Copies of this chain bind each other. A is one copy, B any other.
Amino acid sequence: MIQFSDVSKFYDNEAALSDITLTIEKGEHIYITGPSGAGKTTLLKLIYAAERPDKGTVSVAGQDTGKLKQGAVPFLRRTIGVVFQDFRLLPNVTVFDNIALALRIHGIDSKEIKENVNDVLASIGMKHKAHEFPRHLSGGEQQMAAIARAIVSKPNVLLADEPTGNLDPGTADTIIKLFREINLRGTTLIIATHHDALFKNTGHRVIYLKEGKIEKETKD
């Protein structure tokens, strides 16, 4: 369970988020949307403790991230998979190794890693690019690799920041279906996106952010 209580986050005295109160239940499938600069990425960052709230508290799986000891942060993050808006692939290793990294961090052994990574690559149709370096991939292929890395470790919570911005509608559909499967297996799923086709008429909960505030909340 993820809980924001009256959370604000400031950059240079400007609020990127202000007075956000929000509860996301375990196993939920929720969308965050809103215009550019509304604070979507900032909201996600608060969940995986890349930023700490300047006001209020954020609690993730019962832990107050603002009070988390440094040593505890990696353990929190290992339970969360993140598709970063700017991908954040390591440039010096192949797609395979980029994805495997998420498992290495868990100390999983090489054989199991190989199996899992190949499975994930197959499920998103990227097997043929396994041994390419990120700079040799197209924009969409990089995004797919970033998605694969976020889901390979079967995290409790999956955060996806604009995961379809570089994908064609067909591939985007495949990804959303995959996400839904993952969600059905119990993973809490939070997707930040502009792409309203992803949530239109799906019945999922959607949070509309605007200038750092929750403008409205719907179940489309």
Q: Which of A161, A166, A170, A171 has the most CB of B within 10 A?
A: A166
Asked whether B169 lies within 8 Å of A139 as measured between CB atoms, the reply is no
Copies in the complex: 2
A11 at the interface (CB under 8 A from B): yes
Asked whether A36 lies within 8 Å of B196 as measured between CB atoms, the reply is no
Asked whether A169 lies within 8 Å of B194 as measured between CB atoms, the reply is yes
Q: Quick one: given A35-B171, A36-B144, A171-B35, are A166 and B194 in contact (CB under 8 Å)?
A: yes
- Do most interface residues of chain A lie in helix, strand or loop, or is the interface mixed? mixed
Contact of A194 among B40, B86, B167 (CB under 8 A): B167
20 interchain pairs (CB within 8 A)? A11-B136, A35-B140, A35-B170, A36-B138, A36-B139, A36-B140, A36-B144, A36-B166, A36-B167, A36-B168, A37-B138, A37-B141, A41-B138, A139-B161, A139-B162, A140-B194, A162-B166, A166-B194, A167-B194, A172-B194
Give chain A interface residues in 24-49, CB to chain B under 8 Å. 33-37, 40-41
- Of all A-B residue pairs in the complex, the 8 with the closest CB atoms, nearest first, are A36-B140, A165-B165, A168-B194, A35-B168, A85-B139, A37-B138, A165-B166, A36-B171
Q: Which residues of B contact A161 (CB under 8 A)?
A: 139
Q: Which residues of B contact A166 (CB under 8 A)?
A: 36, 85, 162, 165, 194
**Interface size class for chain A?**
20 to 34
Shortest distance between the CB of A16 and any CB in chain B (Å): 9
- Cα–Cα, bound, A169→B199 (Å): 14
Shortest distance between the CB of A155 and any CB in chain B (Å): 22
Q: Which residues of B contact A136 (CB under 8 A)?
A: 11
Asked whether B194 lies within 8 Å of A36 as measured between CB atoms, the reply is no
